A = this chain, B = another copy of it.
Amino acid sequence: MTRRVLVASRNAKKLNELRRILDEAGIAGIEIVGLNDVAPYDEAPETGATFEENALAKARDGFAATGLPCVADDSGIAVDALNGMPGVLSARWAGKHGDDTANNILLLAQLNDVPDDRRGAQFVSACALVAEGVEEVVRGEWPGTIGRKPVGDGGFGYDPLFTPEGETRTSAELTPAEKDAASHRGRALRELLPTLAALADN
């Protein structure tokens, strides 16, 4: 029999990403459902000071509301020259939630005078898994640098500005499969596989 696991997201890409990672790991017996597949519940605002805090709060909410094991993430970009910001404010850096273009323009302007050798950054994802008797929070990082103009049409968020370490392309130029294999969220989700496998076995 299959075990339903809630991913606290309405983003089909995120649901499919976890499905692919479970498949690749050969973990059967888990059915991934999203927030659109369960009865609506009050979702706490993301006002934590850390990715981990936000991911854990979301996963606790989802488990408490549905009784299903719940996976939640909070992700963003940490820029060295901004002391790790935009960080938890990545999605609303320019002031309005989810305006990728404004966020990219602002970040480039802020870094205009920052020389090439100080343009390091990491994409960061914290993923939490909350189930009966389980609270796990893991972190994945994807190191790289911030360029001087947007390049590439794929991905979303800060992808057009970010060149992963060892790459010449931005993360907006990688194929989805390449991004999956390397990305911060993929790295974090794979850390949760042992616990997810144990849930599937129960």
Contacts of A45 in B (CB 8 A): 113
Q: Is A115 an interface residue (CB 8 A)?
A: yes
Contacting pair B83 A113 (CB below 8 A): no
Selected contact of A95 from candidates B83, B84, B110, B114, CB within 8 Å: B110
How far, in Å, is A176 (CB) from chain B's closest CB? Answer: 31
Contacts of A114 in B (CB 8 A): 47
Interface residues of A in 89-138 (CB under 8 A from B): 89, 92-96, 105-106, 109-110, 112-115, 118
Knowing A83-B85, A87-B83 touch, does A92 contact B118 (C-beta < 8 A)?
no
Selected contact of A81 from candidates B49, B81, B110, B115, CB within 8 Å: B49
How far, in Å, is A89 (CB) from chain B's closest CB? Answer: 6
Q: How many copies does the complex hold?
A: 2
Contacts of A47 in B (CB 8 A): 113-115
Q: Is A82 an interface residue (CB 8 A)?
A: yes
The 8 closest A-B pairs by CB, nearest first: A95-B109, A83-B83, A47-B113, A83-B84, A85-B85, A82-B85, A83-B85, A89-B110
7 additional A-B pairs beyond A45-B113, A47-B114, A92-B112, beta carbons within 8 Å, are A47-B115, A49-B81, A49-B118, A89-B110, A92-B110, A93-B110, A95-B106
